[in-house]
Structure 1
Amino acid sequence: MSSMIDLLKKRRSIYAINKEIPVSQERIEEIVGQAVKYVPSSFNSQSARVLILLDEQHDKFWDLTKETLRKLVPEGQFASTEDKMNSFRSGRGTVLFFEEQAIIEGLQQQFALYADNFPVWSEQSSGMLQLAVWTALADEGVGASLQHYNPLVDEQVAKEWNVPSSWKLIAQMPFGGIAAQAGDKEFAPLEVRVRVAK
């Protein structure tokens, strides 16, 4: 059995993905569901919400995102943006991560002393969920990366997939079979990043 650190080492940003995943779609749903269930949240708020887009729905999301960006990126610079959108579309699915704002607002009212902190804690909890899903996918041999095209696509996503208005889109994770491994990664010295007081 792999240790948590071994699993974290395995998780990388995989941009070269394809539609041939080594596990079933049901396994993907199980991984995401178990992560949503067990990742901690402040005050046990359980504010995380996800939408898993598979196959044609996944393709539709990246087509929608590409067309949204086409309106914003200068025409002469759009080719690289289009290539990037097509690379994400080449995958099998996308996990959309949301946070339920009604829960956060309810906690702000209930615990006014901490009101300013709840949106921050919500983002932190979402980050933990994203890492948990990403790492679990990597452990199954599924490549993924984390993207942030919100809030540009929020309105279209809500309309296309009937997403409640209280769900705030936080991040998008395209995933698929690994067509090419990630390159070498450089790390800043731990002596600069970690201090120990004894």
Structure 2
Amino acid sequence: MNNPVIQSLRKRRSQYSLGRNLSQSPAEIEALIKEAIRWSPSSFNSQSSRAVILFGAQSERFWELVRESLRPLVPAEAFGGTEQKLASFAAGVGTVLFYEDQDVVKGLQEQFALYADNFPVWSEHSTGMAQLATWTALAEAGIGASLQHYNPVVDEAAAREWSIPESWKLRAQMPFGSNEAPFAEKTFIDDAERFRVVA
């Protein structure tokens, strides 16, 4: 299919071998991430998504915080593998921390009581779309990334480190950098299991 959006989506893959061999400057990457999130949809145009963009030593610090948060939770004999995985994320250029502002969600619940139960769900939709938009934009620029979920284990440590507002809820983390390994072939389940077309 020769649709440019589909072509971009095909480039979005999980990259676990990250490096620092990028031609883009931090300012260019920052602008790309901001635009991707800015143009992502949200319920009632609430714009509840928030992001902390960490570069260099700050990104490394985040993965150090994750490591120390996990140390008391992971069996000692398995911790070596955990450290290797976290080191692969820290080896990249940076990390995006995706948050959702719960004050925005609560404000919508108060303003539109009829839909109150739905706004937390719609907030999750918003962050998911912001994550996909960011990941796809990075991939289109030739930047590798993956999506990680070390929340809520690292939430408090990250909040202290970067003075995160109390109303911001951490939803995902996206380490990014140069692609240092090829992607494996992507496989798909049979269409009959996944789709129904009614005409």
For normalisation by structure 2, the TM-score amounts to 0.97
Output the CA distance in 1 between the equivalents of 2:5 and 2:186: 19
Task: Give the structure 2 partner of residue 19 of structure 1.
Answer: 20
The alignment partner of 1:183 has SS state of coil
For residues 87 and 104 of structure 1, what CA distance do their matches in structure 2 show? 34
Equivalent position amino acid for 1:107 in 2: L
Tell me, in whole angstroms, the C-alpha distance in 2 between the residues paired with 1:171 and 1:121.
16
Question: In 1, distance between residues paired with 2:97 and 2:110?
Answer: 27
Q: Deviations over 1:150-193 (max 9, x none)?
A: 00000001100000000000000000011102211210011221
Corresponding position of 1:148: 149
Equivalence for 2:30: 29
1:26–1:98: structure 2 CA closer, same or farther, 3 Å change rule? same
Name 1:71's counterpart in structure 2. Answer: 72
CA distance in 2, matches of 1:191, 1:30: 41
The alpha-carbon deviation at position 22 of structure 1 amounts to 2.9
**1:172 is paired with a residue of what secondary structure?**
strand
**Aligned counterparts of 1:72 and 1:21: Cα–Cα separation in 2:** 35
Residues 22-71 of structure 1, C-alpha deviations (whole Å, 9 max, x = no match): 31111111111111211110011011100000000000000111111111
1:1-198 maps to which residues of 2 (within 5 A)? 3-198=4-199
- For the residue of structure 2 that corresponds to 1:97, the secondary structure is strand
**What whole-Å deviation, never above 9, does each CA across 1:79-134 have from its counterpart, x for those lacking one?**
11011001101111000000000010010111111111000000001000000000
Between the aligned partners of 1:176 and 1:26, the Cα distance in structure 2 is 14
C-alpha deviation, 1:2, in angstroms: 6.7
Query: Does the CA-based 8 Å contact 1:7-1:139 persist in structure 2?
Result: yes
CA distance in 1, matches of 2:182, 2:119: 37
Residues 22 and 177, structure 1, Cα contact 8 Å, conserved in 2: no
Give the structure-1-normalised TM-score: 0.97
- Contact 1:97/1:172 (8 A) holds in 2: yes
State how far apart, in whole Å, the 2-side matches of 1:126 and 1:111 are.
Answer: 20
User: Given residue 88 of structure 2, which amino acid in structure 1 is its aligned partner?
Assistant: S
CA contact (8 A) 1:92 1:175 kept: yes
SS at match of 1:186: coil
CA-atom RMSD, angstroms? 1.1
- The percent of aligned pairs where both chains have the same amino acid is 54
Cα distance in structure 2, aligned partners of 1:189 and 1:24: 41
